Amino acid sequence: MLTAEDKKLVQQVWGKLGGAEEEIGAETLWRMFQSYPPTKTYFPHFDLSQGSDQIRGHGKKVVAALGNAIKNMDNLSQALSELSNLHAYNLRVDPPRFSLQFLAQCLQVALATRLGKEYSPEAHSAIDKFMSAVASVLAEKYR
């Protein structure tokens, strides 16, 4: 469960990104495709070469959705409702791939490389919990 302190930490971390959100989105996806090649199977229709417009565009979308979730942490279910439907009925990304946190791991690496020591254990914990909560909501309607 996300405590009030967790929510504050998540917002703080996000606040430190200073407009680099789009870049972080693209980098997160690229790291994920490199470190976990099976994740590419969900994007056969994409140009997955480094720096591709599609990776940039999709990274931007993902980060915007996370940003929106962060603004609505008291009601993640509602904030992510559309995306939850999309992932359950349309995209059908294997649920364990959510809880196996490939995307979350790569997002955290992208954040840690930028924030260094500021990516404290407490911030790390809060972001990990937040991404876990997001994954749960997105997997809610699978069956």
Partner 1 sequence: MVHWTAEEKQLITGLWAKVNVEECGAEALARLLIVYPWTQRFFDNFGNLSSPTAIIGNPKVRAHGKKVLTSFGEAVKNLDNLKGTFSKLSELHCDKLHVDPENFRLLGDILVIVLASHFGRDFSPACQTAWQKLVGVVAHALAHKYH
Binding site residues, partner 1, CB under 8 A: 27, 30-31, 34-36, 101, 105-106, 108-109, 112-117, 119, 121-122, 124-125, 128
**Is the Cβ of residue 79 or residue 127 nearer to partner 1 in the bound state?**
127
What dihedral do alpha carbons 97, 99, 101, 104 form, nearest 10°? 120
Taking the complex as a whole, how short is the minimal distance between the CB of residue 86 and partner 1, in angstroms? 27
Tokens read off for 39: 């994740």
What is the residue type of 14? W
For residues 58 and 38, give the distance between their C-alpha atoms in angstroms, rounded to a whole number: 17
Residues whose CB is less than 8 angstroms from the CB of residue 70 and which lie 6 or more positions away in sequence, other chains included = 10, 11, 14, 130
Q: From the CB of 101, what's the least distance to partner 1, in Å?
A: 8
101: region left, alpha or beta (phi > 0 left; psi from -120 to 50 alpha): left
Please, what is the minimum distance in Å from the beta carbon of residue 37 to partner 1?
Answer: 9
Residue with Cβ nearer partner 1 (50 or 90): 50
The smaller minimum CB distance to partner 1, of residues 82 and 118, is found at 118
State in angstroms the smallest separation of the CB of 81 from partner 1: 28
Q: 35 vs 68, which CB is nearer to partner 1?
A: 35
